[in-house]
């Protein structure tokens, strides 16, 4: 079959209008709620905005990671599925807008900005050259800037290929993606250390960035699977995907559920076993009171239940199951970020207020609205990619 027969040109651009309208309404409600939350309690709302920032950043960079992985590994099967991930990565430039109000609020969010801590605590004194406001702002802008740079370069080459069909662009993107991988590891580490780990400035965990990365890759894969399977089942995807494509998406979800659990448990067990004051101080609030309930919900929600939902071979072929698990995992990813962030706001018990609702609305709104917007402007399938035909004929 030739390429023109495989692709339904009428479906190349755009997604159902409901994506855009739902996305924008969620986004507007989220912004309004967030503004109200800021009017009520600046500290609480700032934490909610950090959660939103983390959620959007993990989905966006996770998607860019999957795009890069596809190039670096020269994967063929996923060529037709790459564009949805490129659209999802489109949220990366908007991180600047999300981070902007926070940069003016650092003193209300981070305890390490309080100079009195540095005077009394020797461990904080050691961290002073790294944890200070000017360097923090420089790092944040640098990290998001680097992400934007790679996003624009990789996506530009990919889009250019739609018209020029130049095979050298693939080669160029392979090199770019290979460069992006180590850069992504370093920048994500900086981002997570700055925005999540420094909420508890005395606590350290060397595996923390890997933990957040596992959640990012899982969240991005869940969102991508949700969109791809939904569009294909509604017959809105410009090419016909086979159940084998579904299987691979499900297998990736399953793999990253396990990877997330592995990293989460490694971090927990080493710190629990070491039983050092500075390390366990982070886990103690999360293991008592209502936070313990959140922890158990997280273990069930991001590992045990989806594990058994996806473990069988038939489940990974089943589009309804994949859609359900994807939505489930996106919610679990939100709980994960809530669990990482909010115990530092209130260690005595779980909090749920306007800020958390705003976080959910805003995060879902941003990722969905940006996806719909990008899908409207660009082709849903990389029609110029030399790997596309073989990718469509993929069999397990």
Q: Which residues of the shown chain bind other proteins in the complex (CB under 8 A)?
A: 265, 268-269, 272-273, 275, 311-314, 395
In whole angstroms, the minimum distance from the beta carbon of 315 to other proteins comes to 12
For the chain, the residue count is: 396
**What distance in Å separates the CA atoms of residue 158 and residue 309, rounded to the nearest whole number?**
35
| Residue closer to other proteins (CB basis): 17 or 312 | 312
Q: Which is nearer to other proteins, 114 or 313 (CB)?
A: 313
**Minimal distance in Å, beta carbon 281 to other proteins?**
17
Query: What is the longest distance spanned by two Cα atoms in the chain?
Result: 72
In the chain, what is the straight-line distance between the N-terminal and C-terminal CA atoms, in Å?
19
Nearer CB in complex with other proteins: 1/314: 314
Burial class (CB in 10 A: 0-12, 13-18, 19+), 29: middle
The Cα 223–Cα 342 span in angstroms is 24
What does the radius of gyration of the chain's CA atoms come to, in whole angstroms?
A: 21
235 vs 277, which CB is nearer to other proteins? 277
Point out which residues pair with 13 in neighbouring strands: 379
Q: Which is nearer to other proteins, 74 or 312 (CB)?
A: 312
Q: What sign has the CA pseudo-torsion 322, 328, 333, 336?
A: negative
Residues contacting 100, CB < 8 A, separation 6+: none
Quote the least distance from Cβ 300 to other proteins, whole Å.
Answer: 15
Least Cβ distance, residue 269 to other proteins (angstroms): 5
Q: How far is the CB of 158 from other proteins (least distance, A)?
A: 30
Residues 6+ apart with CB under 8 A from 215: 58, 260, 302, 333, 336, 337
Q: Closer CB to other proteins, residue 5 or residue 395?
A: 395
- 268 or 373: whose CB is closer to other proteins? 268
Minimum CB distance to other proteins, residue 287 (Å): 11
Task: Tell me the closest approach of the beta carbon of residue 389 to other proteins, in angstroms.
Answer: 16
**Are the beta carbons of 250 and 322 closer than 8 angstroms?**
yes
């Amino acid at each position: 079959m030739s390429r023109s027969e495989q692709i339904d040109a009428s479906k190349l651009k755009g997604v159902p209008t409901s994506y855009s309208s739902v996305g924008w309404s969620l986004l507007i409600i989220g912004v309004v709620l967030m503004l109200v939350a800021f009017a009520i309690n600046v500290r609480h709302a700032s934490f909610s905005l950090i959660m939103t920032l983390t959620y959007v950043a993990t989905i966006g960079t996770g998607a860019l990671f999957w795009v890069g992985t596809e190039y670096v590994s020269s994967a063929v099967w996923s060529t037709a599925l790459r564009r949805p991930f490129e659209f999802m990565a489109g949220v990366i430039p908007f991180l600047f807008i999300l981070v902007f109000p926070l940069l003016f609020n650092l003193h209300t969010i981070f305890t390490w900005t309080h100079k009195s801590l540095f005077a009394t605590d020797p461990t904080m004194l050691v961290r002073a050259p790294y944890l200070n406001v000017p360097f923090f702002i420089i790092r944040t802008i640098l990290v998001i800037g680097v992400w934007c740079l790679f996003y624009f370069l990789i996506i530009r080459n990919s889009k250019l290929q739609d018209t020029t069909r130049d095979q050298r662009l693939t080669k160029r993107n392979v090199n770019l993606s290979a460069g992006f991988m180590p850069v992504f590891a370093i920048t994500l580490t900086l981002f997570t250390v700055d925005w999540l780990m420094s909420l508890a400035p005395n606590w350290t965990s060397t595996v923390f960035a890997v933990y957040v990365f596992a959640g990012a890759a899982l969240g991005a894969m869940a969102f991508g699977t949700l969109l791809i399977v939904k569009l294909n089942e509604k017959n809105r995807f410009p090419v016909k995907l086979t159940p084998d494509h579904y299987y691979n998406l499900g297998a990736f979800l399953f793999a990253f559920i396990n990877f997330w659990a592995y990293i989460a448990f490694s971090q927990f067990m080493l710190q629990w076993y070491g039983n050092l004051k500075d390390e366990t101080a982070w886990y103690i609030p999360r293991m008592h009171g209502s936070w313990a309930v959140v922890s158990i919900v997280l273990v069930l929600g991001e590992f045990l239940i989806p594990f058994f939902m996806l473990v069988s071979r038939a489940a990974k072929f089943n589009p309804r199951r994949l859609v359900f698990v994807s939505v489930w995992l996106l919610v679990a990813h939100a709980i994960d970020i809530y669990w990482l962030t909010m115990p530092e706001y209130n260690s005595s018990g779980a909090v749920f207020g306007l800020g958390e609702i705003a976080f959910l609305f805003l995060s879902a709104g941003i990722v969905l609205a940006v996806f719909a917007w990008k899908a409207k402007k660009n082709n849903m399938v990389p029609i110029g990619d030399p790997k596309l035909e073989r990718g469509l004929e993929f069999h397990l």
